[in-house]
């Protein structure tokens, strides 16, 4: 299984060394221990345990100088996660997003169907498929001033 995201484990691996950490979605996993190591024609496999006590298998393709993450052990949760980026949204950005809003599901039940995330995607110029938001405060509908639940706004045409 090839790995979609950046697994910049340990470029320039040498025969007697071992991987010390790998990075995934900008998070660094420190390797506490190489529990096992075996050789296959296509790669050297390292079964490692991180400092957080998780177990992963990291194949290293020597000819390509490329690490990947094998499914199995605790890798499933990492492989299941498509690399979501969490963006903290402060009050300033919330205000700018509110300016894009005309009404909400409370005051316009039939017209409000734009998820607030979509509005934030545009205001913050983020890629909708990989971005989640952490809001510092709730956005309010400028029409009725009720806080939105996040899925229920309408925009002016």
Contacting positions for Zn ion (CB under 5 A): 104, 106-107, 141, 143-144
DSSP 73-102: TTHHHHHHS--PEEEEE-HHHHHHHHTT--
**Least distance CB 138 / Zn ion (angstroms):** 13
Closer Cβ to Zn ion, 23 or 144, answer by number: 144
Q: Closest by alpha carbon to 35, among 80, 87, 73?
A: 73
**Least distance CB 146 / Zn ion (angstroms):** 5
Please give the DSSP secondary-structure letter assigned to residue 146. P
Closer Cβ to Zn ion, 55 or 106, answer by number: 106
Chain-centroid distance of CA 101 in Å reads 27
Closest residue to bound Zn ion by CB:
141
**Least distance CB 100 / Zn ion (angstroms):** 14
């Amino acid at each position: 299984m090839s790995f979609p995201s950046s697994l910049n484990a340990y470029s320039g691996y040498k025969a007697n060394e071992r991987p010390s950490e790998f990075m995934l979605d900008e998070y660094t996993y420190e390797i506490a221990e190489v529990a096992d190591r075996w050789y296959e024609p296509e790669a050297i496999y390292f079964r490692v345990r991180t400092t957080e006590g998780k177990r992963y298998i990291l194949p290293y393709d020597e000819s390509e100088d490329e690490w990947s993450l094998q499914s199995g052990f605790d890798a499933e949760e990492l492989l299941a996660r498509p690399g979501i980026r969490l963006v903290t949204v402060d009050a300033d950005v919330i205000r700018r997003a509110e300016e894009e809003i005309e009404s909400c599901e409370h005051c316009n039940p039939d017209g409000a169907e734009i998820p607030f995330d979509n509005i934030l995607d545009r205001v913050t110029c983020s890629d909708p498929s990989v971005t989640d938001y952490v809001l510092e405060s709730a956005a309010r509908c400028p029409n009725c001033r009720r806080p939105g639940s996040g899925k229920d706004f309408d925009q002016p045409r």
